[in-house]
Chains A and B, each alone.
Chain A
Amino acid sequence: MNKTVNPNELTSDDDYGPLYAARKKVYPQSTHGTFRRIKWGLMAFCLGVYYFLPFVRWNRGLGAPSQAVLIDLPNSRFYFFFIELWPQEVYYFTGLLIVAAVALFLMNSVGGRIWCGYLCPQTVWTDLFYAVERLVEGDRRERMKKDKSSDPMNLERISEIVLKHSIWLMIAWWTGGAWVLYFNDAPTLVKELVTFQAPMIAYIWIGILTATTYLLAGFMREQVCTYMCPWPRIQAALTDEWALNVTYRYDRGEKRTSVKKAAELRALGEHVGDCIDCYQCVAVCPTGIDIRNGPQMECIQCGLCIDACDNVMEKIGRPKRLIGYDNDINIQRRQEGKAPVYRMVRPRTIAYSAIIAVVGGFMIYTLATRSLLDVNVLHDRNPVAVRLSDGSIRNAYTVRLLNKSGYDRVIAIDAHGPANLSVHVIGVDSVTPDRPMIVIPRDTTSELRLLVTAPAESNPEKSMPVRFQVTDIGLGEVATATDNFVAP
């Protein structure tokens, strides 16, 4: 970027070069090979999931949403296939985020920026937009020629540009459209959207995401990774000498010569590098760098230069993987004539895997044993205890019952404590003495005011624990909560 400067020449501010730099537009060339195929496959998978998941149906019974994945904000529910989460269970997301973060760390310690090169939405959509660009305007050389051309625009060129941006905008619009479908019943919302009856907020979100997709994938592209994203900076702190990064094996590549010269020199028995300086690795790079300069901040490690180089090596009859997933340790070992060593299993990867296993296991365990009936109890703060006219003592509690199931429940409430306690719920006439029963509709909570009275003869001296037990009369399902019974 900057010209090389001699420190002695630096005399004024101007000598430091410009304060800002124009972007060098990147024209990645198409390529084919193993990593390109992996990228196509992952792109199809990721976009397929993103665009079509909202349309997957899941039967939850009458009155419940039938969308497999739904973020129901107005009703504060999150649906994921057989799972239905309430706002207070947001810790599942915390667990998910921990697993996701550590999975990123693990990926990084195994194969560098795998996330950046293959899975990041910025990479996936930029890749898709490049594919469109290539289809409409041609490959690298043609696009460069067209951009540099000083000829006046003709109809063909104008139609190309219009077509490219139209397709981009359609993809971007579909991206924004799919986003809002996760927050509402997808088929209904699609119907409303096309008949212009959807809520304003849906159109606003589609507009925002259309704009960001179009701008970030169509124009910002690699600059998002280079200048905006924090993950490349964080991952530098997470990598180690054993991590496999896209590496130019300079032990094999140097010294660079032409094919012809190399053949001549080899015939003489001299050491020649395999790199023929064809710049194919630079041509295909979506961030416009030369991998032969060593590991660089801009490199997203997508492996496309590996494919490009392999294709060249195949043609000139040299072994593949002059560029490959490797590390400096192996380059040095090869230079010393030793066999390369790959250590996937090392303390770092074991620790990350263990964290994923423990957190993931804990989440699965809590999810599997999660109760669909719950009770929370809050003791009255003022007054903590009331003396009644006959000398008995009463404490009042706010009880919240949670019915997370898809059916109405009949609940009985018992209070167990040392003294002979009686229980009453305001607004509920007990059929069974001291065992109030109430109905909680499906998928709701009920807040009750519950009074517990200890008779005068068994007045407690100090506070004593009370266990509240709620029982689903029909199913026998039980939930408990403990609190204290306090004397005045």
Chain B
Amino acid sequence: MTDHSEVDTVTGKSTTGHEWDGIKELNTPLPRWWVISFYLTIIWSIGYWIVYPAWPLISSHTTGLLGYSTRASLAVELANLEALRGEKMAALAAASLADIEKDPALLALARAKGRTVFGDNCAPCHGSGGAGAKGFPNLNDDDWLWGGTLDQIMQTIQFGARSGHAKTHEGQMLAFGKDGVLKPDEIVTVANYVRSLSGLPTRKGFDAAKGEKIFAENCVACHGDGGKGNQEFGAPNLTDKIWLYGSDEASLIETISQGRAGVMPAWEGRLDPATIKAMAVYVHSLGGGK
């Protein structure tokens, strides 16, 4: 390095001997306070080693004199948050379902809480936005198997459908084919009759009168006159545009032959009452609520 060092003629100072594209660096010493500050930061860092967790050991690490731990402070923060939420959720627990929807602050709280809990518990079947899938109802529309009022939605969440809970919704679509109640050709006929109820096209040569007769003998008990459905048994309305298991002939034949009995678990006991309330309001507010 010394070989390249020279004296700058303008300033009279020596250069460091470093050169970049013809530009040379003057050898200007650092101010003393700067150097002292640098050493002070090193000393400061030693203090950090002593009071804070610092050095990894083989199976653990040094914990420091202050005993500080990010995990412990996270636990404290979460406890504080829980306490804060507790107050707000108490207000939710005290209000009636209808009042929650009328109060903008409670509605916002219920929707926020409901959205999170829905994502954790309901989304696997109903989809993250409640859009549903084949066999799992869309919760955004206005077609409800077990009723779409706030109270009915809450009841369904609490006790489920065919969940085994004592207060659960009961009732199922029987397997008319598998159990030998209807013959294959009768199933085809009644499937086409069901399609005709909502104005869907039917198979050529389909006997409407025979279909109506089979329907009256086997289906009306649950689905009601004209197939309007019955929320008592969770029997869907067959005259509307919404089909849980599909409206094409093959799907209908499968439904009638094999039966349907989707299960919705009971959430009472797994979620606290205020949370279930929040979820009922959330589902109701998706748009389909009555």
Residues in A lying within 8 Å of B, measured CB to CB: 1-2, 4-7, 10-11, 16-23, 220, 223, 227, 380-383, 386-391, 394, 396, 426-427, 446-447, 449, 451, 456
What residues of chain B lie closer than 8 Å to A17, measured between beta carbons?
14, 27, 29
CA distance A451 to B142 in the complex (A): 12
A20 touching B6 by the CB < 8 A rule? no
Closest 7 A/B residue pairs (Cβ):
A382-B129, A383-B131, A389-B240, A21-B29, A386-B140, A4-B12, A389-B143
Q: How far is the CB of A93 from chain B (nearest CB, A)?
A: 30
- B37 to nearest A CB, angstroms? 11
CB within 8 A of A390: which of B108, B129, B240? B240
> Among A381, A389, A446, which residue has the most Cβ atoms of chain B within 10 A?
A389
Nearest CB of A to B187, in Å:
25
With a cutoff of 8 Å between Cβ atoms, the chain A residues found around residue B7 in the complex are 4-7
Alpha-carbon distance A191/B16, docked complex (angstroms): 58
Q: How far is the CA of A321 from the CA of B5 in the complex (A)?
A: 40
Measured CB to CB, the closest approach of chain B to A479, in angstroms, equals: 20
- A sample of 25 inter-chain contacts (CB < 8 A) reads A1-B28, A2-B27, A4-B12, A5-B14, A7-B14, A10-B5, A16-B5, A16-B16, A17-B14, A20-B29, A20-B34, A21-B29, A220-B33, A381-B129, A382-B131, A388-B242, A389-B141, A394-B140, A394-B141, A396-B140, A426-B101, A427-B101, A427-B102, A449-B285, A449-B287
List of A residues within 8 angstroms of B237 by Cβ: 389
A171 to chain B, nearest CB (A): 22
Contact residues in A for B2 (Cβ distance below 8 Å): 10-11
B47-105: which residues lie under 8 A (CB-CB) from chain A? 101-102, 104
A447, B27: Cα distance in complex, Å: 63
Contacts of B171 in A (CB 8 A): none
Known contacts A389-B142, A389-B237: A427-B31 contact under CB 8 Å: no
Q: Is B32 an interface residue when CB atoms closer than 8 A count as contact?
A: yes
Task: Say whether A387 contacts B35, CB under 8 Å.
Answer: no
B24 an interface residue at 8 Å Cβ cutoff? no
B interface residues, Cβ below 8 angstroms from A: 2, 5-7, 12-14, 16, 27-35, 101-102, 104, 107-108, 111, 127-131, 138, 140-143, 237, 240-242, 285-288
A223 and B31 contact, CB distance less than 8 A? yes
A389 touching B241 in the complex, CB below 8 Å, given contacts A7-B14, A11-B2, A223-B33: yes
Contacts known (A1-B13, A223-B33, A426-B107); A382 close to B240, Cβ less than 8 A: no
Chain A neighbourhood of B111, CB < 8 A: 449
What A residues does B240 contact at CB under 8 A?
A: 389-390
Does A16 lie within 8 Å of B142, measured CB to CB?
A: no
Assembly CA distance A389 to B208 (angstroms): 24
Given contacts A10-B5, A20-B29, A447-B108, contact A387 B13 (CB under 8 A): no
A22 CA to B240 CA in the complex, in Å? 91
Q: Please indicate the chain B residues that have their CB under 8 angstroms from the CB of A11 in the complex.
A: 2
Which residues does chain A contribute within 8 Å of B101, judged by CB atoms? 426-427
Closest to B143 in A: A389
Q: Determine how close the nearest CB of chain B comes to the CB of A460; give it in whole angstroms.
A: 16
Contacts of B287 in A (CB 8 A): 386, 394, 396, 426, 449, 451
CB neighbours (8 Å) of A4 from chain B are 7, 12-13
Tell me the bound Cα distance from A4 to B104 in angstroms: 79
List the A side residues contacting B27 at CB < 8 Å.
Answer: 2, 16-17
Alpha-carbon separation in the docked complex, A454 to B127 (Å)? 24
Known contacts A386-B138, A386-B140; A20 and B241 CB within 8 A of each other: no
Bound state CA distance, A391 and B241, in angstroms? 6
Q: Tell me how far the C-beta of B284 lies from the nearest C-beta in chain A, rounded to whole angstroms.
A: 8
The minimal Cβ–Cβ distance linking B101 to chain A, given in whole angstroms, is: 5
Asked if residues B13 and A2 are in contact (CB atoms below 8 Å), the reply is yes
Whether B6 lies near A7 (C-beta < 8 A) is yes
Q: In the complex, which residues of chain B have a beta carbon less than 8 angstroms from the beta carbon of A16?
A: 5, 14, 16, 27
Closest-by-CB residue of A relative to B240 is A389
Complex Cα gap A386–B32 (Å): 73
CB < 8 Å neighbour of B31 from A21, A396, A447: A21
The distance from the CB of B116 to the nearest CB of chain A, in whole angstroms, is: 15
Give the nearest-CB partner of B123 in chain A: A382
Q: Are B32 and A387 interface neighbours, CB within 8 A?
A: no
Identify which of A7, A23, A380, A386 contacts B33 (C-beta below 8 A): A23
Q: What is the distance, in angstroms, from B285's C-beta to the closest C-beta of chain A? A: 5
Q: Which residue of A lies closest to B286 (CB)?
A: A396
Within 8 Å by CB of B30, from A20, A389, A456, lies A20
Asked if residues B141 and A426 are in contact (CB atoms below 8 Å), the reply is no
Q: How far is the CB of B7 from chain A (nearest CB, A)?
A: 6
Distance in angstroms from B237 CB to nearest chain A CB is 7
Residues of B within 8 A of A19 (CB): 29-30, 35
Name 7 extra pairs, CB < 8 A, besides A16-B27, A396-B287, A449-B111. Answer: A7-B5, A11-B2, A23-B31, A223-B31, A388-B141, A389-B237, A426-B287
Contact, CB under 8 Å: A388 / B142: yes
Residue of A nearest to B14 (CB): A5
Smallest CB-CB separation from A383: which chain B residue?
B131
Smallest CB gap from B144: residue in A: A389
Closest to B26 in A: A2
The smallest C-beta distance from A410 to any residue of chain B, in angstroms, reads 14
Residues of B within 8 A of A6 (CB): 7
Known: A382-B127, A426-B285, A427-B102. Contact between A387 and B141, CB under 8 A? yes
Q: Could you tell me the distance between the alpha carbons of A388 and B6 in the complex, rounded to whole angstroms?
A: 87
* Max chain B Cβ within 10 angstroms of own Cβ: one of A381, A391, A446: A391
Once bound together, how far apart are the Cα atoms of A391 and B143, in whole Å? 11
- Centre residue among A5, A380, A381 by max chain B CB count within 10 A: A5
